[in-house]
Amino acid sequence: MDLERTTEELRKQRESLEAALRLSEERFRATFNQAVVGIAIAGLDLRFIEVNEKFASILGYAAHELRGLTFTELTHPQDLAETQRELQKLLAGEIPHYALEKRYVRKDGAVVWSATTVTLLRDSEGNPIEFVGIIEDITGRKVMDESLRDSDRRKDEFLATLAHELRNPLAPIRQAAQ
C-alpha cells in the first residue's frame, strides 16, 4: 500500500514538474518571438543557434539563413576588433556581460547600427554554455545624431563666414567713429 501511494505521489510530482516546464517553455517562446528587440543565441563557436524574427529583420535575413553564421561574420569590419576584445573578457570571466554600440552588415550590404548587449550563460559549475545577445536597431538615432552634428558644423561655418564678411565693411565705420 505504501509503495502504491509513493508511486502515485511521484507520478503526480513528475506531472506537476512537466507542466511547470511546459509553461516555462511557453513563456520563453512567447517572449523570444514577440520581443521588439532582436534576440540571438549563439554557441561557444559564435554560430547562431537560434534567432528571433526581429533580429532576422534587422539584418535583412530569414531566421533560418542566420543559423550557422557567426555574429563576427555579420559585424562591420571596423567594429570587429572591439567585439572580439569584449568576447575574450567575457570568456575569461572578467565581465558578466558587455554592451556596445556597433555596426552590422545587412544581407543587402547596408550598414545597420545597433545597441548590442551580450551575456555568457554558464552552467552550475561556471563553465560557459552559450551567448545570448539583445540587439536594438539604433540606425535612425545615429542618422539623426550625424545630421545634427552636420547642421551644427554648417552653422559654425556660416557664423565664421558672417563674422569675416562683417569685419571688412565695418572697419572704415569703426575708424571713422574713432
Distance CA 7, CA 9 (A): 5
Of residues 157 and 162, more confidence is placed in: 157
Pairing relationship of beta strands 38-42 and 111-122 according to DSSP bridges: unpaired
The per-residue pLDDT for range 60-90, each reduced to its tens digit, is: 999 999 998 998 899 999 999 999 999 999 9
Distance CA 97, CA 105 (A): 23
Q: What is the pTM of this model?
A: 0.71
CA distance readout (Å), 166 to 79, 154, 163, 178: 45, 18, 5, 18
